Amino acid sequence: MVYVILDLLVLAGPLALSFDKRVAFYKKWPAVFPAIFGVLLIFGAWDVWKTAIGVWSFSSRYAGSWRFINLPLGEWLFFICVPYACIFILACVRAYIDDHKLVLPRFLWLAIALAFGVAGMLFINKTYTGVVFISVGAVLIIAWLLTPRSLVSRNFWIAILLTYVPFVVANGVLTALPVVLYDNSRNLNIRLGTIPLEDFFFSLSMLILSFSLYDFFGRHAPGPSIRDHRRPVSHAA
């Protein structure tokens, strides 16, 4: 079960380092796990639907033959292991790098969200392409409503960029074997290496939602706020 092994490898490092004194990620679990559950609920439902209509499928050779609501065990673990690892990266960035507040117009995020929504409608005949663009717009609006300060945090975006390094490695394995099989009539059939272009936007939407929910639940978790552990914030143009 290559997929399950890959998930566990993604989780292993962050889980082992969760007890590092400076990051103390284990203390943030009251915010981490609700955020993961939110991602699992939303993207899991999306994944079940996409699999049911044939946007993609999973190789029995690499993902195993067992399925729960159309998805193999590795896919369900993906929505637990990957958000955990990515939120851990965000916590590390905040622990070790001074933050800066980006000076941006408040309406910018709504404009970007609208642009993704329009792009999604233009490509709606390509099911994966259209829906993934709309999803980026939707999660930007959710983030803007729940945690507007996060969107203007430089470290928020640094963490997103850093997570693309393990994303390219892990997703490269998934698409090269391949563990995941795509119906190219449902996407633009543009690949960076073996990774469909749409996967980068899928990852972006999942990261923004993961980080925003983490910050949102962090403000409401028992004990000190997650914001208390951030490096100082200064303004930057």
Tokens at 209, concatenated = 């939602």
* Among 25, 27, 24, residue whose Cα is nearest residue 223: 27
Mean pLDDT, rounded, for 74-89: 96
pLDDT bin (cut points 50, 70, 90) of residue 228 is very low
What is the pLDDT averaged over residues 215-224?
A: 79
What is the residue-wise DSSP string for 141-181? HHHHHH-HHHHTBHHHHHHHHHHHHHHHHHHHHHHHTTSEE
pTM as predicted: 0.91
pLDDT above 90 as % of the chain: 82
The average pLDDT across 124-150 equals 95
- In the predicted model, what is the mean pLDDT of residues 116-139? 97
205 vs 235, higher pLDDT: 205
Q: Mean pLDDT: which of 124-138, 159-173, 214-228 is highest? A: 124-138
Number of domains in the chain: 1
**pLDDT at position 209:** 97
Q: How much is the pLDDT for 230? A: 54
Q: What percent of the chain has pLDDT over 70?
A: 93
Band of residue 222 on the pLDDT scale cut at 50, 70, 90: low
CA 147 to chain centre: 16
Specify the higher pLDDT residue, 1 or 207: 207
Do 167 and 147 touch, CB atoms closer than 8 A?
no
pLDDT of 233 higher than 80: no
Q: Which pLDDT score is estimated for 2?
A: 87
Model pLDDT, residue 236: 52
Q: Of 128, 125, 148, whose CA–CA distance to 208 is shortest?
A: 148
Long-range CB contacts for residues 66-72, cutoff 8 Å, separation at least 24:
71/44, 71/47, 72/3
| Residue the block writes with tokens 């981490």 | 32
Rounded CA separation 170/150 (Å): 26
Best CA proximity match to 139, nearest among 109, 161, 168, 165:
109
Q: Which residues of 61-99 are buried (b: 16+ CB within 10 A; e: fewer)?
A: ebbbeeeeeebbbbbbbbbbbbbbbbbbbbbbbbbeeeb
Separation between Cα atoms, residue 134 and residue 118, nearest integer Å:
8
Instruction: Note down the domain range covering 165.
Output: 2-236
More confident residue, 120 or 231: 120
The confidence band for 106, taking pLDDT boundaries of 50, 70 and 90, is confident
Round to whole Å and give the CA distance between 56 and 113: 26
> Is residue 107's pLDDT more than 90?
no
Residue 225 pLDDT > 80: no
Model pLDDT, residue 97: 93
**Cα-only R_g, the chain:** 18
Per-residue pLDDT at 237: 43
pLDDT above 60 for 232: no
Nearest to 202 by CA among 219, 186, 217: 186
